[in-house]
Amino acid sequence: MTSAIILGTGSYTPKKVVTNDDLSKIVDTSDEWIQTRTGIRERRFAEEDEATSDMALQAAERAINHARIAKESIDLIIVATMTPDMPFPSTACLLQTKLGLPCIPAFDVQAACSGFIYTLNIANNMIRSGQYKTVLVVGAEKTSSILDFEDRTTCVLFGDGASAVILSSSEESSVGLLHTDSGADGEHPEILCQPAGGSAMPATTDSVSNRQHFLKMNGKEIFKKAVRVMGQSCINSLEACHLTSDDITLVIPHQANMRIIESLAKRLEISLDKFHNNLDLYGNTSAASIGIALDEAVQAGRIKKGDLILLVAFGAGLTWGSQILRW
Ligand code: ACO
Identify whether residues 165 and 205 lie together within a single domain.
Answer: no
Task: Map residue 274 onto helix, strand or coil.
Answer: helix
Residue at a domain's end among 116, 140, 173: 173
Mean pLDDT across 275-280: 97
Q: Please give the pLDDT value at position 1.
A: 73
Final residue of a structural domain among 173, 203, 237: 173
Nearest CA to ligand 1 atom 49: 315
> Which ligand 1 atom is the nearest neighbour of the CA of 113?
50
Q: What pLDDT does 115 receive? A: 98
Per-residue pLDDT tens over the stretch 11-42: 999 999 999 999 999 999 999 999 999 999 99
Q: Report d(CA 195, CA 115) in Å as an integer.
A: 19
- Residue 53 shares a structural domain with residue 122: yes
Do 117 and 217 sit in the same domain of this protein?
no
Q: Which residues line ligand 1 (CB under 6 A)?
A: 29, 33-34, 37-38, 112-113, 152-153, 156, 192, 217, 219-220, 222-223, 226, 256-257, 284, 286, 315-316
Provide the pLDDT for residue 317: 95
Expressed as residue numbers, the domain containing 109 is 3-173
Note whether 121 and 104 are same-domain residues.
yes
Q: Are residues 102 and 54 in the same domain?
A: yes
* Average pLDDT of the residues of the chain: 97
Give the global pTM: 0.96
Alpha-carbon gap, residue 310 to 251, rounded angstroms: 5
Considering the domain architecture, whether residues 29 and 166 belong to the same structural domain is answered as yes
Total domains in the fold of the chain: 2
- Which of 37, 141, 289 most suits a substitution to test ligand 1, by most atoms within 8 Å of the C-beta? 37
Ligand 1 centroid to Cα of residue 193, in Å, is 16
Amino acid at 192: L
Tell whether 188 and 320 lie within a shared domain.
yes
Rg (CA), the chain: 19
**DSSP SS3 for 58:** helix
State the DSSP H helix or E strand holding residue 296, giving kind and residue range, or none if neither.
Answer: helix 289-299
Known catalytic residues are 113, 254, 284
Q: How confident is the model at residue 174 (pLDDT cuts 50, 70, 90)?
A: confident
User: What does 241-252 look like in DSSP terms, one character per residue?
Assistant: TT--GGG-SEEE
pLDDT tens for 92-125 read 999 999 999 999 999 999 999 999 999 999 999 9
- In this structure, are 263 and 165 located in the same domain? no
205-259 pLDDT, tens digit per residue, is: 999 999 999 999 999 999 999 999 999 999 999 999 999 999 999 999 999 999 9
What is the reported pLDDT for 255? Answer: 97
β partners of residue 79:
108, 138
Smallest CA-to-CA distance from 219 within 187, 254, 186, 256 is with 256
Q: What pLDDT sits at residue 173?
A: 81
Distance 217 CA to ligand 1 centre (A): 9
pLDDT for 20 equals 98
Distance 153 CA to ligand 1 centre (A): 5
